[in-house]
Amino acid sequence: MTQPIEILEAQLNNFSLEVRTGALQELTRLANAGHIDLPPLVNVANMHCHTFFSFNGYGHSPSSLAWQGRKRGLKLMGIVDFDVIDAVDEFLDACALVGIRGSAGIETRVYVPEFGRREINSPGEPGIAYHMGIGFASSAVPAEARPVIDSMRQRAAERNTDMLERVNAHLSPLTIDYQADVLPLTPRGNATERHMLAAYLAAAERTVANPIDFWAGKLGLPADKVAAQMADMPTFQNTVRGKLMKRGGVGYVQPSPHAFPSVEEFHRFIEACGALPCAAWLDGMSEGEQAIEELLALLIDKGAVAFNIVPDRNWNIADPAVKEVRLEKLYQVVELTQKLDLPLNIGTEMNAYGQKWVDDFDAPELAPVREAFLDGAYFIYGHTVAERVLDLGYQSAWAQTHFPGRRQRNAFFTELGKQAEPSALQPAAIKSLIEQITGNKI
C-alpha cells in the first residue's frame, strides 16, 4: 500500500540515507505515474542552498531539496554546505532522478593575510573571508586532500565547543551538552552555531518556567520586546544568536588567523576534488569589498575561477536609500566579474527560516543581471556533468588543453549545461554531446 505523499515527503528528511532514497524513489514513481502533478520547469535557479548536513532553515536533506525544487519547477539547483561535502553524491543523484540540473559545493571561512587589516565579507573580522568551492562531482575526497577537510571539521568543532562553554556560563542554570544535545541534531556530526542555537531554544522551552522573563534577563532586553519577538520566531532566533554568538555576544571571541584554513590550503582541497574555487560577495560596503578589484585580482591569482552572490540581500531592501546603494554595487560587481571571466553562483542560502526558495528572477531590479545569473548556473551544471560522467571538468587537462582561455572554457561549459539533460547523463551521450559542441573527437 502506497504511503501518503505527506509521509513520504517527511521521510525525505530522515537521518537514514536508505529511508530518504526510498522515499524519493517512491515520490518520483508516483509523479511519473501521474499521481502527483509537477509543474513545468522554469528557467530559474537557486545554486546556493544549505542542506541539513550543515544547516537548513527548513530542515531539508539533499533529497528533500531536490524534490522540493522540482515541485516548484526550478530548472537548476545547487547545494553548498559549511565545512563538508557529505551531501554531494546524494544531491546529484536526486537531481538526476527528479530531472533538474544540479550542482554541489562547500563553504568555509579562510584567512587572507594580504587583507589582514581590512574587513571583507565576514562582518567585524578583518582578514577573514567566507569562501567557497563549487562544482563538486563526488563526496569522495582524494587522499591528498583529506587532511584539509579533516582539519576544517576539527577546527569547527573546537570553535563550537569553546563557544558553548561561554554561552553555558552566561545562561546558567540553563546549559546544554555538545555531545548529548547538539550533535544529535545533525546527520553526521557537523554542527554549526545554528544547531547550538536550536538546542538552547529547545532546552529553554523544556525547562524554563517563564521563558519571556528568562530571555529578557539573559539578553538584556525589555520583556515586552522579547514577547513580541517570540511571536515571530525567525526574528527571535536572530536576536538570540546575535546576543549570544555573533560579534559582541557573550560567546564570541575574535578569531585568530589560525582558526581557519588559508586561501591556498582551501584551494588545494577544492582543486584536488576537481571542483572550482569561488570567491564570495556580501554587499560591497566593507573596506575590503570596496577594494573588490584588488581583492579579486589577488584571489584569481590564487586560483579563484567563479564568484558567489546572494542577490536578495542586495536589492530586496525596504529602505530606498540603502537599496539604491546596494543595487548599484550589485550591478558594478556583476559587470566586473563578467570582465574578469568569473561565472556567477547565485542563490538564497536557505540556512535560516524565511529565506526564499528561489530569487525573484522577474523582478525589474534583476533584469540587468538575470542573464549572467542563469549563464553561471548552466556553467556550473555543465562542469559538474563533464566531471562526474567523464572526468573532463573545468580543471581537467583536457579542458585546459582545448580551452586554454577562461572565457573559452566558460562558454563551452555553459553551452554543455544548457544542452545536457538530467535524464541523459550516460557517458556515451555526454561524450557525443561534447563532440557535437566542440566539433572534435574526444
Question: Strand ranges (DSSP E) for 275-350?
Answer: 276-280, 306-309, 344-346
Give the cell for residue 74: 526550478
Residues 254 and 344: their CA atoms lie apart, in Å, by 31
Q: How far is CA 312 from the centre of its chain?
A: 14
Cell of 186: 545533525
Contact indicator for 292, 299 with CB cutoff of 8 Å: no
Q: Copy the grid coordinates of residue 430.
A: 555526454
What is the sign, positive or negative, of the torsion defined by CA atoms of 316, 322, 323, 329? Answer: negative
Task: Tell me the C-alpha distance between 398 and 391, whole Å.
Answer: 9
Q: In what order do the strands lie in the sheet with 128-134?
A: 42-49, 74-82, 101-111, 128-134, 276-280, 306-309, 344-346
- Tens-level pLDDT at each residue, the chain (442 residues): 568 999 999 999 999 999 999 999 999 999 999 999 999 999 999 999 999 999 999 999 999 999 999 999 999 999 999 999 999 999 999 999 999 999 999 999 999 999 999 999 999 999 999 999 999 999 999 999 999 999 999 999 999 999 999 999 999 999 999 999 999 999 999 999 999 999 999 999 999 999 999 999 999 999 999 999 999 888 899 999 999 999 889 999 888 888 899 999 999 999 999 999 999 999 999 999 999 999 999 999 999 999 999 999 999 999 999 999 999 999 999 999 999 999 999 999 999 888 999 999 999 999 999 999 999 999 999 999 999 999 999 999 999 999 999 999 999 999 999 999 999 899 999 999 999 999 988 8
Query: What domains can you pick out in the chain, each with its CATH number?
Result: 38-141+281-438 (3.20.20), 150-244 (no CATH)
How far are the Cα atoms of 12, 164, 279, 342 from residue 84, in angstroms, in the given order? 20, 21, 17, 24
| Cell representation of residue 97 | 532522478
C-alpha cell at 103: 550542482
**416 close to 403: Cβ distance less than 8 angstroms:** no
What is the distance between the alpha carbons of residues 70 and 39, in angstroms, rounded to a whole number?
Answer: 8
User: Side chain identity at 273, as an amino acid letter?
Assistant: C
Q: Tell me the residue length of the chain.
A: 442
d(CA 103, CA 136): 7
How high is the pLDDT of residue 1?
53
